[in-house]
Amino acid sequence: MAWFSNNANCGFSVFTLATVGWILSSMSMGLVDWRTWHVKGTPPYPPAVAYVGLFRVCIYEHHTNRTTAIFCYLYSSKDNFLPSEIYMAQSFLLTASIFGFFGRLVKILALRNMSLGLFGGNTYNSFIVSGILNIAAGMFILIAVFQNYDAIINSKGITFPPSFQMPFKPDVQEVGMAIQVAGIAAFLMLLSGIFSLLYRCSLYAQVHPEISEM
């Protein structure tokens, strides 16, 4: 069954796409540089570079002796200074991680059944469920990326506590590497989900040629 070998390779490739996308999505949550702030140093604020993440912020303050002080702050449930796009991105990325995890589990079940020659309804439905979960995860990640990208492009500010010694808006605000990682994760998750649905239809047509010929 030459077609089975090709399908098995295709199914594994789709699973690999989902796995890499899920890993990158999880990594982006831990990265601190979703937004990069550059403060030139106008009194009363010292020159600094701040990396704003989804769950923490790190501030590098440049002093006159050319040393750099690192100050990292982990957000808590009591913090109310964060903008809505960061709160929403936290929820979206966590939800996407959960969806991606279960999508991978369902895909493993589908590939296992296929390797055992079990081409029944459960196998086909598993590909559908996995595809939907991966597409949903990709959409959640994409929304979080677009919201934070929009905040950067429109130079939206953040009201940090006075102890942070950071202005409401920086002199320059740039897209951080974490947004790029999350964007790639969203693309891979969406691609995996679409391929999973198409793969299910292709697999069903090859196992049941009498239906495809009708």
Among the residue ranges 18-27, 39-48, 169-178, 192-201, the one predicted with the least confidence is: 192-201
Say what percent of the chain tops pLDDT 90.
52
Amino acid at 52: V
Q: Which helix (H) or strand (E) holds 51?
A: strand 48-52
pTM over 0.85: no
Is 60 exceeded by the pLDDT of residue 171? yes
Is 80 exceeded by the pLDDT of residue 67? no
Q: Give first-to-last CA distance, the chain, whole Å.
A: 23
Among the residue ranges 83-92, 102-111, 135-144, 180-189, the one predicted with the least confidence is: 102-111
Among the residue ranges 78-92, 182-196, 200-214, the one predicted with the least confidence is: 200-214
* Residues 156-182, mean pLDDT to the nearest whole number: 92
Q: Which fold has domain 14-208?
A: Butyryl-CoA Dehydrogenase, subunit A; domain 3 (1.20.140)
User: 208: pLDDT confidence band, cut at 50, 70 and 90?
Assistant: very low
